[in-house]
Structure 1
Amino acid sequence: MKVGLAQIASTSSKQENLSMLSAAVRSAAADGAEVVVLPEFAMYNLPVPDSSFVEEAEPLDGPFATRVHGVAAREGVVVVFGMLESVGADRAANTIVVTSPADLSVTAYRKIHLYEAFGASESTLIQPAEDLAPVLFDAGGLRFGLNTCYDLRFPEVARRLVDEGADAVLLPASWAPGSRKEDHWSTLIRARAIENTVYYVGVGQAPPISVGNSMCVDPMGVVIAQLGEQPGVMVVDVDAERIAQVRRVNPCLTDRRFVVNPA
């Protein structure tokens, strides 16, 4: 099946972001995508997060998600996008929503690992997920697992998704720039794909807020598609037979001698 990667540069204007999202989804659908992935904070973003992250948060059935569902219905695709979810007065949730032509909310994943590194403190404005269970959904005969940005640095997150049958892991992100950060992004995505023998799809915000560099890596660690610094859309094939082929050559999942358990 085909998966679309939609790298946009979200702003503080929800309407502008919705327009960018809609155009990107339309482009990916025209190229045959059945699932289209957008970045973390696709709904609302700032160069430096502030209290508006909480003030602008919405429920999962709020105006923005409802309009994205309308885009999914119009284009006939599953849309995966990041939003700020209202969960309380003091902090929001950093949530990835999956919406389909039929269902407003197929599922939602609230970010587990908040970005408390490289001088950042995401927990000031964002509430971490309380439910640590893996979140997956099915589309086009394949199973997709979800994680978000900083989760990439924790290999057990991807391994638990694979233990639940994920064929591909989708990683919406807003990977902040900094020393060696772009190298970390590409290296870690390839590592997660190789060690789990799955496709890994990382979709980031375009610069300057993020490093961009959205990419899809196959189960052997081959980068099969990659965007650079500009907003853009690309569509890739995610092939179940390729996964099976790689796992026949590299049976590391069946050779391992222990499993990852949740804390």
Structure 2
Amino acid sequence: MRIALAQILSGPDPAANLELVADYTQQAAEQGAALVVFPEATMRCFGRNLAEVAEPLDGLWATAVRRLAADNGTTVAVGMFTPAEDGRVLNTLLVTGPDVDAAYDKIHLYDAYGFAESDTVAPGDKPLVLDVAGVSVGLTTCYDVRFPGLYTALAEDGADVIGVAASWDAGPGKVEQWQLLTRARALDTTTFVLACGQADPAALGLSPAGTAPTGIGYSAVVGPTGETLAALGPEPGLLLHDLDLSLVEAARRAIPVLANRRF
């Protein structure tokens, strides 16, 4: 299975960000990607009013993403915001493509390092595993990666590949934490982890928006025994990689942590 990680730097304008989705999706599809993962907050970067752009899954922005996926014959996973019942928004990962139309609402909200995502974002409560081109794929978002139990649950639900779409906050040691956590979750679950984050604004000479998490880059494909198979730096870019799914079966024979787990 060929996958692509689209490490973009989204801005405040959903229409401009949709153009990025169109460009990267076309590039990935032309190179044979069956799945293209975009970062969290692709619709609008953090640090701006999210409620004023949030729309339902049948709204104009999501419908345009569906059309892009259909036109390019590939599945797209992209971060957006949908209205919540309590006046906040949901941090939603839309997954759409041939025979796929689903959404995951971020379960673990980023109330850490002085930022309170829960002030404006309501949590989801349902893990998501779906079939993409015959491969069982689980989806997570950013801060979720700090919670091994969610990843184990996805693997137990059949996931051989787990995507994490992020807008990872910058700061001392944060690149190292991102790399450690994504590799650990792959090893915890003996799955491939597709870690796609927002690019680092500083790499383009831009200043972050206050205390909002605007990205560090370093998207990566991690193998089921925890090795980094391919990775980007801090700048925007498109990473393509061919997943050998037989490595999942081999890892689970060699390191049967899911079968041996007692707690």
TM over 0.5, shorter chain: yes
Cα distance in 2 between the residues matched to 1:18 and 1:251:
42
How do residues 244-255 of structure 1 correspond to structure 2 at under 5 angstroms? 244-255=249-260
Provide the rounded CA distance (Å) in 2 between the counterparts of 1:244 and 1:112: 28
| Aligned-pair CA distance for 1:198 | 0.3
| Equivalent residue, structure 2, for 1:121 | 116
TM-score norm. by structure 2 comes to 0.92
AA aligned opposite 2:10 = S
CA distance in 1, matches of 2:245, 2:197: 25
Distance 1:102 1:223 in 2: 30
1:87 to partner: Cα distance: 2.2
Are the counterparts in 1 of residues 145 and 181 from structure 2 also a CA contact under 8 Å?
yes
Native 8 Å contact 1:38 1:172 kept in 2: yes
Equivalent residue number for residue 245 of structure 2? 240
Q: Alpha-carbon deviation of 1:101? A: 3.8
- Secondary structure of 1:53's counterpart equals coil
C-alpha distance in 2, partners of 1:164/1:239? Answer: 20
Structure 1: distance between partners of 2:199 and 2:93: 18
Instruction: Report the Cα offset of residue 220 of structure 1.
Output: 1.1
Residue 11 in structure 1 maps to residue 11 in structure 2: yes
State the shift of 1:89 in Å. Answer: 6.3
1:161-180 matches, cutoff 5 A: 161-180=154-173
- Residue 80 of structure 1 pairs with residue 77 of structure 2: yes
2:162 aligned with 1:157: no
Count of aligned residue pairs for this structure pair: 251
- Distance, in Å, in 1 between the alignment partners of 2:45 and 2:127 is 26
Q: Is residue 114–residue 123 contact of structure 1 (8 Å, CA) maintained in 2?
A: yes
Task: Report the CA distance between 1:18 and its aligned residue.
Answer: 0.7
- Aligned equivalents of 2:13 and 2:127: distance in 1? 31
The separation in 1 between residues aligned to 2:257 and 2:122, in whole angstroms, is 35
Residues 40 and 172, structure 1, Cα contact 8 Å, conserved in 2? yes
Alignment of 1:57 with 2:36, yes or no, is: no
Q: How does 1:1-263 map to 2 (within 5 A)?
A: 1-46=1-46, 48-49=47-48, 52-88=49-85, 90-102=87-99, 106-129=101-124, 132-208=125-201, 209-258=214-263
Q: Aligned partners of 2:234, 2:194: CA distance in 1, in Å?
A: 17
Structure 1 residue 239 displacement after superposition: 2.1
- The secondary structure found in structure 2 opposite 1:33 is coil
How far residue 251 of structure 1 moved from its aligned partner, in angstroms, is 1.5
CA contact (8 A) 1:6 1:233 kept: yes
1: CA distance between counterparts of 2:149 and 2:237?
Answer: 30
Q: Corresponding residue for 2:207?
A: none
How far does residue 185 in structure 1 lie from its aligned partner after superposition? 0.3
Query: Which structure is higher in strand share?
Result: 2
Gaps of 5+ in 1: 259-263
Q: Structure 1, residues 137-181: CA drift from partner, whole Å, max 9, x if none? A: 101221000110000001001000001000011100000101211
Q: Summarize deviations over 1:18-64 as a string: whole Å, max 9, x none.
A: 11111111111111100100000111114x24xx2111101111111
User: C-alpha distance in 2, partners of 1:252/1:102?
Assistant: 32
| 8 Å contact kept, 1:148–1:173 | yes
Does the 8 Å CA contact 2:38/2:165 hold for their aligned counterparts?
yes
**Cα contact 2:7–2:236 (8 A) shared by 1:** yes
